[in-house]
Amino acid sequence: MKFETPATENPIDQLKVIGKATDRVEGPFKTMGRARYAYEWHDVAKNPAYGYVVGSAIAKGRIRSIDLSLAKVSHGVLAIVTAENAGKLGKGEFNTALLLGGPEIQHYHQAVALVVAETFEQARAAAGQIRIEYEKAPGAFDLAAAKDSAPMADKITGGVAASKVGDFEGAFAAAPVQLDATYTTPDQSHAMMEPHSSLAKWEGDKLTVWTSNQMIDWGRGDLAKTLNIPKENVRLISPYIGGGFGGKLFVRADAVLASLGARAAQRPVKVALQRALMPNNTTHRPATIQRIRLGTTREGKITAIGHDSWSGDLPEGKPDGAVHQTRLLYAGENRMTATRLAVLDLPEANAMRAPGEATGMMALEIAMDELAEKLGIDPVELRILNDTQVVPDDASPPSKDDPQDRKGDTAANQAGKGKRFSQRQFIECLRLGAERFGWNKRSAKPAANRDGMWLIGQGVAAAYRGNQTTKSAARVRLDSRGGVIVETDMTDIGTGSYTVIAQTAAEMLGVPLNRVLVRLGDSSFPVSSGSGGQWGANCSTSGVYAACLKLREMVAQKLGVSATDAVFSDGRVRVGDRDVPLGEVAGSAGLVAEDAIEFGKLAKEYQQSTFGAHFVEVGVHVATGETRVRRMLAVCAAGRILNPKAARSQVIGAMTMGVGAALMEELAVDKRLGFFVNHDMATYEVPVHADIPHQDVIFLDETDPISSPMKAKGVAELGICGVAAAVANAIYNATGVRVRDYPITLDKLLDGLPDVA
Amino acid sequence: MSKVSLTVNGQACDLELDNRTTLLDALREHLHLTGTKKGCDQGQCGACTVIAGGHRINSCLTLAVMHQGDSITTIEGLGTPEKLHPMQAAFVKCDGFQCGYCTPGQICSAVAMLDEVKAGIPSHVTADLTSHPQLTTDEIRERMSGNICRCAAYSNIIEAISEVGRGEI
Ligand code: FES
Ligand code: FES
């Protein structure tokens, strides 16, 4: 079905199942250890061989020679795959660097060989016997050094690279109150708990890969493209995914090498990337340098707002879209944004949870805190004062037939003037949050509160993340006993897809939740939105909605009635005085409906976004500078919340990742050798139990009929946007030390801390 | 290759293994008990936590041959589909997981951790070493910090463990 006009009342609005805090339907499998992840399919391939990946020891250059002689005769070795013997490989549309390097090396730990052996231990031992001689080439590894010569990027996700409205330079120069500050965010790693893993099995020229991938159809296409085989010959299966956060959006070396290894060894092969290989072998969130300029009246009204951002990537790579939210979040007549992209020879930069806004809000929301202090206005009030109900800078995505859009020039922006948000309860989030958090008890003066050795402070930040919509299909079967099976290639990466999809089908067809079986993550199922960009829940359930609507029509047709007259509830369908069990209508053959949701012009006519506010309290130890997060509250306005329990979990997870970004997460770059030094889970620090207090999340009551028939939006990424800045602002409030360089580790605070008394 | 006999979830298992095989791989690759997860294979994440002789250990950091005669409990040994272990049930109720990959390790760790508190073993945050440690949230957080959850269900995991702990201690 096409979704082109705002949703009116529909069966989802009954809210008998949707909107309930249902336990996850797959919960028992996961807690019993029975959910099967990519490396765990012992029954489909009885005797798989094991692959072990060898990563490049240099960042840039060439392999001069590769000596496999010892490895080949090592115990149990069945095959060794290298670029030399792998045949001609293509490159996936979503990949920047090749997944099997050699002789040219594009980045450190780029895979250069796969050793396949009878056992894991044998493969690992043999991998250590491969002797490679490299010829190093000089590379660029330092963003700060490359910054000034970095050219403007082509585009950012969801828009043009640069935009202008009014006369920013003039207005900023004339503003009585000005802030001009530069912030830096480091490279970050997804560090999902399940390593990228694949089991590949060939049957003739048909390939099946059990893998761990967020976007089944993208993965299927790119694996086929890389292996130079038809897409139809590839099947991907990925029902459980041990976390992704953007790191499993694309086909990675595990899938390609397992496939090549299985072809070479003529046996199913499984490969999991070794943990220590992951940060350099796969993708990461790139570091940014961001300059923010804000000019206001004495009363605090923004008259000029400017955001420049720099990031780096391999040649042909992508920039981080850190300026995105600055076009949409605050009012102001005169504006500019610009995104520059340096060529760096570090590993491939790419999407990580809320790419763009996650980093952009880390900078913008400290800037707003600094501005509030300059103005002597409460930071909550400053944000409210600069709210806008229309889009201030509509820098639409570039399109081929409109060259103007590429520049995001003023003419294009004028056209978008007056464009409204489908829903924007930003002020409500701030006000409710302030009330619940007890914001009025905060002292505006920094370093004014102390609890023993701990300096106590509170911080606030806005949360903003776009809501994207994309086509999603599903197939729904009704059997003769009234059971329902939903099939779609949608994935559940911990997001709760199984549960919200089951809830959607149960609501639409009027059957109990436990009569719905959801099957996900198989490329033989209809193509869904997949999981990314916080679009998964809204789009995939809308696809299921469409298929269920079709099934309702089929049921009505069988009964010879109109679907609008039929009432579906308690596993029965009622029309007038007829009351028939659904299974009976389906009959022994059952009924099958397949449909997709396709989003139309509403996405262009309205700006669809999610909003929120983060409130954080920290304690900073006066002697050591250690920061402890004491309290966290997020208030979110994100359309209809399909399952408050799963949605809350998404938000607390994102809040925690934001604490990581604020306090500890940083891939340390070796600028001489060109790699991330701390490439494992002990040295790339992520929050653990002891770092995180109880977290509170409030969802505003909201439905967004412009977004989809579900009237829902995404929420999983909103939760991370702004958190790090709220922590940073709380640290400032606690200590009076303003750190503009993430993560805020104790060494950056020590010098500025008050005397220990 | 060496022969090793283990009792896993109450069942005797005789294996012939490469000496280099970790306990984790013996479970996952040889006994096909894949509930125990491999997150890092180097002792950094806790996904591989199992209970060996009543103590929680990282099964990736120990070789199977070092466990001759040992009794091992994995996630598969804690509950059944008909009757979840109270910790498993509490995790489901409190949504103490998302992707589920750290979950078996969290649950095994939590079960053994409660026994440690019961036995009076202090932790880094126990204020008074001479009295019996209390099951405060700070104690649980400290004692569970070897089990990373990147989905970060921490707040909910603490609720689940507290709920079970209140019933037990
Ligand atoms: S797999 Fe053993 S600690 Fe990570
Ligand atoms: S549930 Fe995903 S890592 Fe814990």
Low-confidence winner among A48-57, A288-297, A346-355, A387-396 (lowest mean pLDDT): A387-396
Main-chain dihedrals φ then ψ at residue A673, nearest 5 degrees: -95, -15
Q: Could you tell me the pLDDT band of residue A398, with boundaries at 50, 70 and 90?
A: very low
**Per-domain boundaries in chain B:** 2-77, 86-165
- By DSSP bridging, strand B71-73 and strand B2-8 are parallel
| CATH homologous superfamily of B86-165 | [2Fe-2S]-binding domain (1.10.150.120)
Any B CB within 8 A of A648 CB: yes
Tens-digit pLDDT profile for residues A112-140: 999 999 999 999 999 999 999 999 999 99
In this structure, CATH architecture of domain B2-77 = Roll (3.10)
Q: Looking at residues A733-740, what average pLDDT do you find?
A: 98
Confidence at residue A755, expressed as pLDDT on a 0 to 100 scale: 82
Any B CB within 8 A of A494 CB: yes
| Any ligand 2 atom below 6 A from CB of B95 | no
Nearest atom in ligand 1 to the alpha carbon of residue B37 is 1
Q: Do B155 and A688 touch (CB under 8 A)?
A: no
CB pairs under 8 A between A and B: 195
Q: Which ligand is nearest to the CA of A193?
A: 2
Confidence at residue A401, expressed as pLDDT on a 0 to 100 scale: 37
**Per-domain boundaries in chain A:** 2-35+469-604, 41-138+199-281, 424-468+608-757
Q: Do B92 and A28 touch (CB under 8 A)?
A: yes
Confidence at residue A485, expressed as pLDDT on a 0 to 100 scale: 98
Q: Do B44 and A191 touch (CB under 8 A)?
A: no
Among A383, A373, A502, A472, which residue's Cα sits nearest to residue A431?
A383
| CB contact residues (below 8 A), chain A span 686-725, against chain B | 686-690, 692-695
CA–CA gap between residue A469 and residue A605 (Å, rounded)? 13
CA of B45 to the centre of ligand 1 (A): 5
Q: Could you tell me the pLDDT band of residue A757, with boundaries at 50, 70 and 90?
A: low
The nearest CA of chain A is from the CA of B54 a distance in Å of 19
Confidence at residue A320, expressed as pLDDT on a 0 to 100 scale: 97
CA–CA gap between residue A37 and residue B37 (Å, rounded)? 9
Q: Do A689 and B88 touch (CB under 8 A)?
A: no
Among A165, A175, A169, A163, which residue's Cα sits nearest to residue A303?
A175
Q: Could you tell me the pLDDT band of residue A592, with boundaries at 50, 70 and 90?
A: very high
Q: Decide: A253 and A287 in contact? Cβ < 8 Å.
A: no
Any A CB within 8 A of B74 CB: yes
Widest Cα–Cα separation across chain A? 84
Q: Do B34 and A37 touch (CB under 8 A)?
A: yes
Which among A26, A28, A687 has CB closest to B81? A28
Q: Which ligand is nearest to the CA of B46?
A: 1
Cα A16–A21–A25 angle (5° rounding)? 95
Any B CB within 8 A of A37 CB: yes
CA of A214 to the centre of ligand 1 (A): 23
CA–CA gap between residue A705 and residue A665 (Å, rounded)? 38
CA of A466 to the centre of ligand 2 (A): 25
CA of A534 to the centre of ligand 1 (A): 29
Among A292, A318, A296, A295, which residue's Cα sits nearest to residue A306?
A292
Q: Could you tell me the pLDDT band of residue A442, with boundaries at 50, 70 and 90?
A: very high
Q: Could you tell me the pLDDT band of residue A144, with boundaries at 50, 70 and 90?
A: very high
Best residue among B88, B95, B102 to mutate for probing ligand 2's pocket (most ligand atoms within 8 Å of CB) is: B102
Q: Do A275 and B151 touch (CB under 8 A)?
A: no
Q: In angstroms, what CA-CA distances link A83 with A101, A105, A757, B87?
A: 6, 11, 64, 48
Chain B residue numbers with beta carbons less than 8 Å from the beta carbon of A193 are: 37, 39, 45, 47, 99, 101-102, 148-151
What is the SS3 assignment for A546? helix
Q: Decide: A643 and A715 in contact? Cβ < 8 Å.
A: no
CA–CA gap between residue A310 and residue A341 (Å, rounded)? 6
In this structure, CATH architecture of domain A2-35+469-604 = 2-Layer Sandwich (3.30)
Q: Do B157 and A688 touch (CB under 8 A)?
A: no
Q: Decide: B16 and B2 in contact? Cβ < 8 Å.
A: yes
| Any ligand 1 atom below 6 A from CB of B39 | yes
| Any ligand 2 atom below 6 A from CB of B147 | no
Tens-digit pLDDT profile for residues A6-22: 999 999 999 999 999 99
Question: Is the pLDDT confidence value at A412 over 50?
Answer: no
Confidence at residue A406, expressed as pLDDT on a 0 to 100 scale: 35
Does A158 or A432 have the greater pLDDT score?
A432
A424-468+608-757 has which CATH code?
Answer: 3.30.365.10
* Best residue of B101, B102, B113, B161 to probe chain A, by most A CBs closer than 10 Å: B101
Confidence at residue B146, expressed as pLDDT on a 0 to 100 scale: 98
Instruction: Share the mean pLDDT of chain A.
Output: 95
Q: Which ligand is nearest to the CA of A492?
A: 2
| CB contact residues (below 8 A), chain A span 411-450, against chain B | none
Any B CB within 8 A of A33 CB: yes
Residues of A with catalytic roles: 717
Tens-digit pLDDT profile for residues A210-221: 999 999 999 999
Confidence at residue A407, expressed as pLDDT on a 0 to 100 scale: 37
Tens-digit pLDDT profile for residues B19-52: 999 999 999 999 999 999 999 999 999 999 999 9
| Any ligand 1 atom below 6 A from CB of B67 | no
CA–CA gap between residue B30 and residue A48 (Å, rounded)? 12
> Is A41-138+199-281 a CATH 3.30.365.10 domain?
yes
Q: Could you tell me the pLDDT band of residue B8, with boundaries at 50, 70 and 90?
A: very high
Confidence at residue A394, expressed as pLDDT on a 0 to 100 scale: 87
Q: Do B39 and A243 touch (CB under 8 A)?
A: no
The 3 state secondary structure assigned to A108-130 is CCCEEEEEEECCHHHHHHHHCCC
Query: Residue A699: beta bridge partners?
Result: A636
Confidence at residue A603, expressed as pLDDT on a 0 to 100 scale: 86
Any B CB within 8 A of A631 CB: no
| Fold equal for A2-35+469-604 and A41-138+199-281 | yes
Instruction: Determine which residue's CA is closest to atom 3 belonging to ligand 2.
Output: B149
Confidence at residue A403, expressed as pLDDT on a 0 to 100 scale: 34
CA of B60 to the centre of ligand 1 (A): 5
Tens-digit pLDDT profile for residues B105-157: 999 999 999 999 999 999 999 999 999 999 999 999 999 999 999 999 999 99
Could you tell me which residues come within 8 angstroms of residue A311 by beta carbon, excluding any fewer than 6 positions away?
A: A143, A286, A287, A288, A289, A319, A320, A322, A339, A340, A341, A342, A349
Chain A residue numbers with beta carbons less than 8 Å from the beta carbon of B63 are: none
Neighbours of A416 (CB within 10 A): 17
Q: Looking at residues A514-531, what average pLDDT do you find?
A: 98
Letter string b/e over residues A88-120, b meaning 16 or more CB atoms within 10 A of that residue's CB: ebeebebbbbbbbbbbebbbbbbbbbbbbbbbb
| CB contact residues (below 8 A), chain B span 9-68, against chain A | 18, 20-21, 25, 28-29, 32-45, 47
| Any ligand 2 atom below 6 A from CB of B149 | yes
Confidence at residue A417, expressed as pLDDT on a 0 to 100 scale: 64
Q: Could you tell me the pLDDT band of residue B168, with boundaries at 50, 70 and 90?
A: low
- Which chain A residue's Cα is nearest to B142? A690
Tens-digit pLDDT profile for residues A448-466: 999 999 999 999 999 999 9
Among A73, A160, A58, which residue's Cα sits nearest to residue A117?
A73
Best residue among A193, A652, A692 to mutate for probing ligand 2's pocket (most ligand atoms within 8 Å of CB) is: A193
Q: Looking at residues A697-708, what average pLDDT do you find?
A: 97
Question: Is the pLDDT confidence value at A250 over 80?
Answer: yes
